[in-house]
A and B are shown apart, each in its own frame.
Chain A
Amino acid sequence: MIRIQPDAWREMVAHAVATYPHECCGAMLGSVDDARKIVRIALPLQNASEGARERHYELRPADLLRADKEARDRNLDLVGIYHSHPDCDAYFSVTDLKNSCPWYSFVVLSIRNGAFDHANSWLPDAEQTKAEREELTY
């Protein structure tokens, strides 16, 4: 399960709403205790997609590297990635799956008409064939 602390959650929702109708993306820093993840800091990153950012996001590896360093500096871990689905449900799309990595939690925020609607967290498998839903609290 994954729990997102209030400050981090507010940051993520604000980021997703601010970038609407484009997709946003960012990193989630926190701690892992067995299978329980706690997100303490949301780190907004740039959507580096050169295509239609309404329907696509891309994380620059350099940004991810920076997020990982930021986590180490704060004695935290990089535990997950978040992104938004503007006017679309918070499910894990085939595109998401095919560009995912099994090491992190993937939180998807559904933004409808510019306002937060709902969110889900997903755990993709190593073969990129399916993603399981992870219990999410915020």
Chain B
Amino acid sequence: MAKVLIPTPLRQYAGKQDSVELSGATVGEVLTALTARYQDLRAQLYNDAGKLRSFVNVYLNDEDIRYLEKDATPVKDGDTVSIVPSIAGGAPVLTEPAAAALSKDEVLRYSRHLIMPEVGMEGQLKLKAAKVLLVGAGGLGAPLGLYLAAAGVGRIGIVDFDVVDFTNLQRQVIHGTSDVGRKKLDSAADRMIEINPYVTIDKHEVALSSDNALDILKDYDLVVDGTDNFPTRYLVNDACVLLGKPNVYGSIFRFEGQATVFAYQGGPCYRCLYPEPPPPGLVPSCAEGGVLGILPGTIGLIQATETVKLILGIGEPLVGRLLLYDALAMRFRELKLRKNPECPVCGEHPTVTKLIDYQQFCGIPSQPAAAETFEGDIDPVEVKAKIDRHDPFVLIDVREPFEYKIGNIPYARLIPLGELPKRLSEFNPDAEIVAHCKSGARSAKAVALLKQAGFRKVRNMKGGILAWSDKVDPSVPKY
């Protein structure tokens, strides 16, 4: 007979006894006899798959059976079998350094990090193992992407579905003039890989929503919020709280910015600071109020700094402190942020336990489904159909006059791309406009330019006059 010592909390499942005498030739047999006698004990010790739970260790006398013969360890009369949980823990370390080492090239690349003891090889490996999600590849996302890639953050995800336009270039320094019309994701990723080919970029070409946010965020160690609207900001915050991921927050307006780290180490979240969104329209966006082009650089780099600090586990994180920056006065101030025990998402009795409809939460009416969308491209066949139907719309050919002479669509008005900015007043802002060029690239820039100028119903004819020649009118020569 062996004596099995029952830990206090389990005695309720073992007839309130502190020890049980059982027979069995091996530890496995003794445990089987134990759970056969006390069936409720089984669920405490074993998981659904019938394996000992990860925190359960079994000792024979004073030896862990894992270092003896495990379940087959023989048991003698008078032996004592103990059930001992394994317990450890500690303050959070965001990422454990990956086992992989740095290549010779990487050592050279990161040498200014490696010679600082605060970073060193261990820290650089942590950066390499880190997975960071940037929500937005705009003003804040631009410096974040550039510097996090340069610093060697191993995996950087970007969520964005926008296209680069001319008005972005004043501040979104990750994109260049030749990128206008390209997806911001592609433009940003190319630039980051150019800076540091050792990083991996995940492109998430979606609008973050309650349906996809948890799925996208769950694979990252931390999230950097570079959004410019309230619904997404609340969405990012709530998703971070629910997933237990830190949310490195920044926001900008005109000459002022804010930054802090939310939902980290039990610190406050965005809702502790702003339980309710402002009424729609009260706070103007950057598109309405303007923004100093350099401002997102300053704030984005504060976010990048905090991100790197959190990954390395060094310094004092910007938790429970809201940093306010005033570029005109050139002053930083700090406000104390406290966790709100009543907070609906991170408080003691949360009422928000899953993602909600953030458009509605922010008082933004959902868009009525339009009969025709004015997003994206339009096929040449559809353009032909519109002409034939006598639909009221404007077709602009943004090529050069010499190209127009080679071949054209008679319905189209020729306005070369370079002249377009001066001739916007020729169009009614409510008019439906289609732009085309030779293959679709220049007209994409024209579409971006028109949209930025306030024209809403603007589309690009896919494939340009070349596609028109292929699909609609083969008499138009290709060149």
A100 contacts B89, CB within 8 Å? yes
Say yes or no for B84: interface residue by CB 8 A criterion: yes
Which chain A residues (75-119) contact chain B, with CB distance < 8 Å?
Answer: 77-79, 81, 83, 85-86, 88-91, 93-97, 99-101, 103-104, 106
By the criterion CB–CB under 8 Å, are B59 and A65 in contact? Answer: yes
The answer to the question of A59 belonging to the interface, with a C-beta cut-off of 8 Å to chain B, is yes
Tell whether, in the assembled complex, residue A99 and residue B89 are in contact, meaning their CB atoms are under 8 Å apart. yes
Q: A78-B8, A91-B265, A94-B244 given as contacts; is B93 within 8 A of A55 (CB)?
A: yes
Contact of A64 (CB < 8 Å), options: B9, B53, B84: B84
A126 at the interface (CB under 8 A from B): yes
Q: Is the CB of A128 within 8 A of B54?
A: yes
CB-CB < 8 A to A23: which residues of B? Answer: 90-91
Provide the residues of chain B in CB contact with A32, threshold 8 Å: 8-9
Interface size of B in residues (CB-CB distance below 8 Å): 33
The answer to whether A72 and B18 touch (CB under 8 A), given A93-B91, A103-B7, is yes
- Residues of chain A within 8 A (CB-CB) of B93 are 55-56, 95
Interface size on A, as a range, is 35 or more
Specify which chain B residues have a CB less than 8 angstroms from the CB of A104 in the assembled complex.
9, 85, 87
Contact B266 A95 (CB under 8 A): no
Query: Which chain A residues numbered 38 to 67 have a C-beta less than 8 Å away from chain B?
Result: 49, 54-59, 61-62, 64-65
Q: Which residues of A contact B265 (CB under 8 A)?
A: 88-89, 91, 93
Distance in angstroms from B265 CB to nearest chain A CB is: 5
Question: Is B32 positioned at the interface, with any CB of A under 8 Å from its CB?
Answer: no
Q: Is the CB of A95 within 8 A of B92?
A: yes
**B89 and A93 contact, CB distance less than 8 A:** yes
Determine the distance from Cα of A126 to Cα of B244 in the docked complex, in whole angstroms.
19
Q: Are A88 and B91 in contact (CB under 8 A)?
A: yes
- Tell me, yes or no, whether A70 is within 8 Å of chain B by CB: no
Q: Are the CB atoms of A101 and B87 closer together than 8 Å?
A: yes
Hey, which chain A residues are within 8 Å of B87, CB to CB?
25, 58-59, 64, 81, 99-101, 104
- The residue of chain B having its C-beta at the shortest distance from the C-beta of A48 within the complex is B88
Chain B hits for A58, CB < 8 A: 87-88
B10: Cβ under 8 A from any A Cβ: yes
B419 interfacial contact with A, CB 8 Å: no
Q: A133 at the A/B interface (Cβ < 8 Å)?
A: yes
Asked whether A56 and B88 contact (CB < 8 A) given A99-B55, A100-B55, A126-B53, the answer is: yes
Confirm or deny: A71 has a beta carbon within 8 angstroms of a beta carbon on chain B.
yes
Of the candidates A58, A61, A126, the one having the most CB atoms from chain B within 10 angstroms of its own CB is: A61
Residues of B within 8 A of A128 (CB): 54-55
From A67, which residue of chain B is reached at the shortest CB distance? B84
CB neighbours of B82 from chain A (8 A):
65, 68
Chain B 40-63 near chain A by CB (<8 Å), digits 1 or 0: 000110000000011111010010
B85 touches A64 (CB 8 A): yes
Given contacts A64-B85, A91-B265, A99-B55, contact A49 B90 (CB under 8 A): yes
Which residues of A come within 8 Å of B, CB atoms?
23, 25, 32, 49, 54-59, 61-62, 64-65, 68, 71-72, 77-79, 81, 83, 85-86, 88-91, 93-97, 99-101, 103-104, 106, 126, 128, 133
